[in-house]
Structure 1
Protein backbone atom coordinates (compact mmCIF):
# COMPACT_ATOMS: atom_id res chain seq x y z
CA UNK A 1 0.00 0.00 0.00
CA UNK A 2 1.14 3.51 -0.75
CA UNK A 3 -0.04 6.67 1.00
CA UNK A 4 0.09 9.63 -1.33
CA UNK A 5 0.70 13.19 -0.19
CA UNK A 6 1.09 16.66 -1.63
CA UNK A 7 2.64 19.83 -0.27
CA UNK A 8 0.19 22.45 0.92
CA UNK A 9 0.75 26.02 2.10
CA UNK A 10 -0.99 27.01 5.33
CA UNK A 11 -1.18 30.47 6.90
CA UNK A 12 -1.02 30.74 10.69
CA UNK A 13 -2.77 33.83 12.01
CA UNK A 14 -1.28 33.99 15.50
CA UNK A 15 -0.43 37.64 14.88
CA UNK A 16 -3.04 39.31 12.63
CA UNK A 17 -0.53 41.89 11.40
CA UNK A 18 2.19 39.35 10.57
CA UNK A 19 0.66 36.07 9.35
CA UNK A 20 3.11 33.20 9.20
CA UNK A 21 3.22 30.92 6.13
CA UNK A 22 4.24 27.27 6.55
CA UNK A 23 4.15 24.20 4.35
CA UNK A 24 2.79 20.83 5.35
CA UNK A 25 2.37 17.40 3.76
CA UNK A 26 -1.31 16.51 3.40
CA UNK A 27 -2.63 13.12 2.34
CA UNK A 28 -4.35 12.59 -1.00
CA UNK A 29 -7.38 10.30 -1.13
CA UNK A 30 -8.03 9.07 -4.67
CA UNK A 31 -11.74 8.42 -4.22
CA UNK A 32 -14.45 6.89 -2.11
CA UNK A 33 -16.03 3.44 -2.18
CA UNK A 34 -19.77 3.65 -1.57
CA UNK A 35 -21.83 1.34 0.60
CA UNK A 36 -23.33 -0.57 -2.34
CA UNK A 37 -19.90 -1.23 -3.85
CA UNK A 38 -18.63 -2.43 -0.47
CA UNK A 39 -21.54 -4.86 -0.14
CA UNK A 40 -20.93 -6.11 -3.70
CA UNK A 41 -17.24 -6.69 -2.96
CA UNK A 42 -18.00 -8.58 0.28
CA UNK A 43 -20.47 -10.68 -1.72
CA UNK A 44 -17.76 -11.49 -4.29
CA UNK A 45 -15.15 -12.38 -1.66
CA UNK A 46 -17.35 -14.44 0.67
CA UNK A 47 -20.08 -15.84 -1.55
CA UNK A 48 -22.70 -14.47 0.87
CA UNK A 49 -25.76 -13.08 -0.91
CA UNK A 50 -25.52 -9.29 -1.25
CA UNK A 51 -28.80 -8.84 0.65
CA UNK A 52 -27.42 -10.86 3.58
CA UNK A 53 -24.27 -8.71 3.62
CA UNK A 54 -26.46 -5.58 3.70
CA UNK A 55 -28.63 -6.90 6.55
CA UNK A 56 -25.61 -7.99 8.60
CA UNK A 57 -23.77 -4.66 8.15
CA UNK A 58 -26.88 -2.65 9.06
CA UNK A 59 -27.46 -4.92 12.07
CA UNK A 60 -23.87 -4.40 13.25
CA UNK A 61 -24.26 -0.64 12.79
CA UNK A 62 -27.53 -0.46 14.73
CA UNK A 63 -26.16 -2.65 17.54
CA UNK A 64 -22.95 -0.63 17.78
CA UNK A 65 -24.91 2.62 17.97
CA UNK A 66 -26.98 1.23 20.85
CA UNK A 67 -23.89 0.23 22.83
CA UNK A 68 -22.01 3.47 22.03
CA UNK A 69 -25.02 5.52 23.17
CA UNK A 70 -24.84 3.68 26.51
CA UNK A 71 -21.16 4.61 26.83
CA UNK A 72 -19.57 1.25 25.95
CA UNK A 73 -16.52 0.71 23.79
CA UNK A 74 -17.30 -1.75 20.98
CA UNK A 75 -14.59 -4.19 19.87
CA UNK A 76 -14.90 -5.87 16.48
CA UNK A 77 -12.12 -8.44 16.83
CA UNK A 78 -9.30 -7.95 14.30
CA UNK A 79 -11.19 -5.03 12.75
CA UNK A 80 -10.64 -2.71 15.71
CA UNK A 81 -12.66 -0.87 18.31
CA UNK A 82 -14.94 2.16 18.50
CA UNK A 83 -15.45 4.31 21.57
CA UNK A 84 -17.37 7.47 22.38
CA UNK A 85 -15.28 10.52 23.26
CA UNK A 86 -15.60 14.25 23.88
CA UNK A 87 -13.52 17.37 23.35
CA UNK A 88 -13.88 20.02 26.01
CA UNK A 89 -12.58 23.52 26.67
CA UNK A 90 -10.28 23.76 29.67
CA UNK A 91 -11.34 25.85 32.65
CA UNK A 92 -9.32 27.48 35.42
CA UNK A 93 -11.63 26.25 38.19
CA UNK A 94 -13.19 22.82 38.71
CA UNK A 95 -16.62 24.35 39.37
CA UNK A 96 -16.56 25.99 35.92
CA UNK A 97 -16.46 22.59 34.17
CA UNK A 98 -19.93 21.55 33.02
CA UNK A 99 -21.68 20.25 29.90
CA UNK A 100 -21.43 23.71 28.29
CA UNK A 101 -17.62 23.34 28.16
CA UNK A 102 -17.93 20.25 25.92
CA UNK A 103 -17.29 21.47 22.39
CA UNK A 104 -17.60 18.20 20.44
CA UNK A 105 -18.86 14.64 20.83
CA UNK A 106 -17.22 12.09 18.57
CA UNK A 107 -16.45 8.42 18.03
CA UNK A 108 -12.84 7.27 18.01
CA UNK A 109 -11.82 4.25 15.92
CA UNK A 110 -8.72 2.34 16.99
CA UNK A 111 -7.58 -0.06 14.28
CA UNK A 112 -7.06 -3.73 15.09
CA UNK A 113 -4.04 -5.91 14.33
CA UNK A 114 -4.70 -6.40 10.60
CA UNK A 115 -5.00 -2.66 9.98
CA UNK A 116 -1.91 -2.01 12.12
CA UNK A 117 0.07 -4.58 10.11
CA UNK A 118 -1.10 -2.90 6.88
CA UNK A 119 0.03 0.50 8.19
CA UNK A 120 3.43 -0.89 9.23
CA UNK A 121 4.07 -1.87 5.60
CA UNK A 122 2.91 1.39 4.02
CA UNK A 123 5.13 3.37 1.67
CA UNK A 124 4.94 7.15 1.19
CA UNK A 125 4.67 8.70 -2.28
CA UNK A 126 4.68 12.37 -3.29
CA UNK A 127 2.04 13.60 -5.74
CA UNK A 128 2.51 16.72 -7.86
CA UNK A 129 0.75 19.81 -6.55
CA UNK A 130 -0.41 20.46 -10.12
CA UNK A 131 -2.80 17.49 -9.97
CA UNK A 132 -5.60 18.85 -7.81
CA UNK A 133 -8.05 15.93 -8.19
CA UNK A 134 -8.58 13.25 -5.61
CA UNK A 135 -9.07 14.60 -2.14
CA UNK A 136 -12.14 12.52 -1.47
CA UNK A 137 -14.18 14.47 -4.01
CA UNK A 138 -14.55 11.66 -6.50
CA UNK A 139 -17.56 9.40 -6.62
CA UNK A 140 -17.42 5.72 -5.70
CA UNK A 141 -15.92 3.15 -8.03
CA UNK A 142 -19.40 2.20 -9.24
CA UNK A 143 -20.17 5.77 -10.34
CA UNK A 144 -22.28 6.83 -7.38
CA UNK A 145 -21.62 7.77 -3.80
CA UNK A 146 -24.08 5.22 -2.38
CA UNK A 147 -23.53 6.62 1.11
CA UNK A 148 -26.35 7.76 3.40
CA UNK A 149 -27.89 11.00 2.22
CA UNK A 150 -26.53 14.15 3.83
CA UNK A 151 -23.73 12.27 5.61
CA UNK A 152 -20.24 13.68 5.17
CA UNK A 153 -17.07 11.82 6.11
CA UNK A 154 -15.43 12.85 9.36
CA UNK A 155 -12.29 14.77 8.45
CA UNK A 156 -10.71 13.75 11.73
CA UNK A 157 -10.65 10.09 10.74
Structure 2
Protein backbone atom coordinates (compact mmCIF):
# COMPACT_ATOMS: atom_id res chain seq x y z
CA UNK A 1 0.00 0.00 0.00
CA UNK A 2 1.26 3.47 -0.84
CA UNK A 3 0.77 6.79 0.94
CA UNK A 4 -1.37 9.03 -1.27
CA UNK A 5 -0.39 12.63 -1.94
CA UNK A 6 -1.37 15.54 -4.13
CA UNK A 7 0.34 18.75 -5.14
CA UNK A 8 -0.86 22.00 -3.58
CA UNK A 9 0.17 25.59 -4.36
CA UNK A 10 1.69 27.64 -1.56
CA UNK A 11 2.88 31.22 -1.38
CA UNK A 12 6.23 32.14 0.09
CA UNK A 13 5.32 33.83 3.43
CA UNK A 14 8.52 35.90 3.23
CA UNK A 15 7.77 37.11 -0.31
CA UNK A 16 4.03 37.34 -0.93
CA UNK A 17 4.46 38.71 -4.47
CA UNK A 18 6.62 35.76 -5.56
CA UNK A 19 4.84 33.17 -7.70
CA UNK A 20 3.35 30.20 -5.88
CA UNK A 21 5.27 26.94 -5.83
CA UNK A 22 3.72 23.49 -5.65
CA UNK A 23 4.43 21.08 -2.81
CA UNK A 24 3.50 17.50 -2.07
CA UNK A 25 0.83 17.13 0.61
CA UNK A 26 -0.21 13.79 2.15
CA UNK A 27 -3.84 12.79 1.59
CA UNK A 28 -5.63 10.82 4.30
CA UNK A 29 -6.93 7.48 3.10
CA UNK A 30 -9.73 6.76 5.55
CA UNK A 31 -9.57 6.73 9.31
CA UNK A 32 -9.66 4.34 12.22
CA UNK A 33 -11.84 5.04 15.26
CA UNK A 34 -11.42 4.07 18.89
CA UNK A 35 -14.21 1.52 18.38
CA UNK A 36 -12.34 -0.04 15.46
CA UNK A 37 -9.07 -0.12 17.40
CA UNK A 38 -10.79 -1.76 20.36
CA UNK A 39 -12.29 -4.40 18.06
CA UNK A 40 -8.95 -5.08 16.33
CA UNK A 41 -7.13 -5.37 19.66
CA UNK A 42 -9.77 -7.72 21.06
CA UNK A 43 -9.19 -10.11 18.12
CA UNK A 44 -5.46 -10.13 18.87
CA UNK A 45 -5.69 -11.04 22.55
CA UNK A 46 -8.02 -12.50 25.16
CA UNK A 47 -9.46 -9.14 26.25
CA UNK A 48 -13.00 -8.27 25.15
CA UNK A 49 -13.75 -5.40 22.79
CA UNK A 50 -15.55 -3.50 25.57
CA UNK A 51 -12.56 -3.87 27.88
CA UNK A 52 -10.18 -2.67 25.13
CA UNK A 53 -12.39 0.35 24.48
CA UNK A 54 -12.52 1.19 28.18
CA UNK A 55 -8.72 1.03 28.40
CA UNK A 56 -8.29 3.26 25.31
CA UNK A 57 -10.73 5.85 26.70
CA UNK A 58 -8.93 5.80 30.06
CA UNK A 59 -5.57 6.13 28.29
CA UNK A 60 -6.82 9.21 26.43
CA UNK A 61 -8.17 10.82 29.60
CA UNK A 62 -4.95 10.17 31.51
CA UNK A 63 -2.73 11.46 28.70
CA UNK A 64 -4.76 14.69 28.64
CA UNK A 65 -4.60 15.02 32.43
CA UNK A 66 -0.86 14.40 32.65
CA UNK A 67 -0.05 16.74 29.74
CA UNK A 68 -2.15 19.46 31.40
CA UNK A 69 0.12 19.13 34.44
CA UNK A 70 3.20 19.64 32.27
CA UNK A 71 4.39 16.05 32.38
CA UNK A 72 6.00 14.12 29.53
CA UNK A 73 3.84 11.07 28.82
CA UNK A 74 6.04 8.11 27.92
CA UNK A 75 4.22 5.25 26.26
CA UNK A 76 7.14 2.87 26.01
CA UNK A 77 7.84 1.63 22.50
CA UNK A 78 4.96 3.71 21.08
CA UNK A 79 6.63 7.04 21.87
CA UNK A 80 6.31 10.16 24.01
CA UNK A 81 3.86 13.08 24.17
CA UNK A 82 4.85 16.50 25.51
CA UNK A 83 3.46 20.04 25.45
CA UNK A 84 5.42 22.43 23.22
CA UNK A 85 5.19 26.22 23.06
CA UNK A 86 6.33 29.08 20.83
CA UNK A 87 6.82 32.65 21.97
CA UNK A 88 7.73 36.10 20.78
CA UNK A 89 11.42 36.92 21.09
CA UNK A 90 12.36 39.39 23.80
CA UNK A 91 15.53 41.40 24.42
CA UNK A 92 16.06 40.26 28.01
CA UNK A 93 15.09 37.10 29.93
CA UNK A 94 13.03 39.21 32.35
CA UNK A 95 10.71 40.33 29.55
CA UNK A 96 9.70 36.74 28.76
CA UNK A 97 6.44 35.89 30.52
CA UNK A 98 3.25 33.92 29.92
CA UNK A 99 1.86 36.63 27.62
CA UNK A 100 4.90 36.13 25.37
CA UNK A 101 3.60 32.66 24.45
CA UNK A 102 2.02 32.75 20.99
CA UNK A 103 1.30 29.11 20.23
CA UNK A 104 0.87 25.79 22.01
CA UNK A 105 1.00 22.31 20.52
CA UNK A 106 1.32 18.68 21.49
CA UNK A 107 4.59 17.15 20.37
CA UNK A 108 4.81 13.44 19.69
CA UNK A 109 8.17 11.70 19.44
CA UNK A 110 7.57 8.26 17.98
CA UNK A 111 9.30 5.14 19.21
CA UNK A 112 11.73 3.13 17.10
CA UNK A 113 9.18 1.00 15.18
CA UNK A 114 7.15 4.04 14.17
CA UNK A 115 10.30 5.90 13.09
CA UNK A 116 11.46 2.91 11.04
CA UNK A 117 8.06 2.82 9.30
CA UNK A 118 9.03 6.07 7.57
CA UNK A 119 11.95 4.31 5.84
CA UNK A 120 9.67 1.74 4.16
CA UNK A 121 6.88 3.96 2.80
CA UNK A 122 5.98 4.17 -0.86
CA UNK A 123 3.99 7.00 -2.42
CA UNK A 124 1.26 7.35 -5.05
CA UNK A 125 0.15 10.68 -6.54
CA UNK A 126 -3.62 11.23 -6.68
CA UNK A 127 -5.66 14.04 -8.16
* TM-score where L is the length of structure 1: 0.71
Deviation of 1:12 after TM superposition, in Å, equals 3.2
Q: Give the equivalent residue in structure 2 for 1:93.
A: 92
- The alpha-carbon deviation at position 105 of structure 1 amounts to 2.0
Task: Report what 1:118 is aligned to.
Answer: 117
Q: Gaps (5+ residues) in structure 1? A: 130-157
**Any idea what SS the aligned residue of 2:23 has?**
strand
| Aligned counterparts of 2:13 and 2:97: Cα–Cα separation in 1 | 30
Corresponding residue for residue 57 of structure 1: 56
- Alignment-derived partner of residue 69 in structure 1: 68
Shift in alpha-carbon separation, 1:52–1:113, aligned structure 2, 3 A: same
Aligned to 1:23: 22
Contact 1:87 1:105 survives alignment (8 Å): yes
- The aligned residue for residue 145 of structure 1 is none
Deviation at 1:15, TM superposition (A): 4.9
Q: CA deviation at 1:110?
A: 0.8
Is the helix fraction higher in 1 or 2?
Answer: 2
How many residues align? The count is 127
CA distance in 1: counterparts of 2:105 and 2:14, whole angstroms: 27
Structure 2 Cα separation of the partners of residues 6 and 15 of structure 1: 24
Match in the other structure for 1:4? 4
- The whole-number CA distance in structure 2 between the counterparts of 1:2 and 1:15 is 34
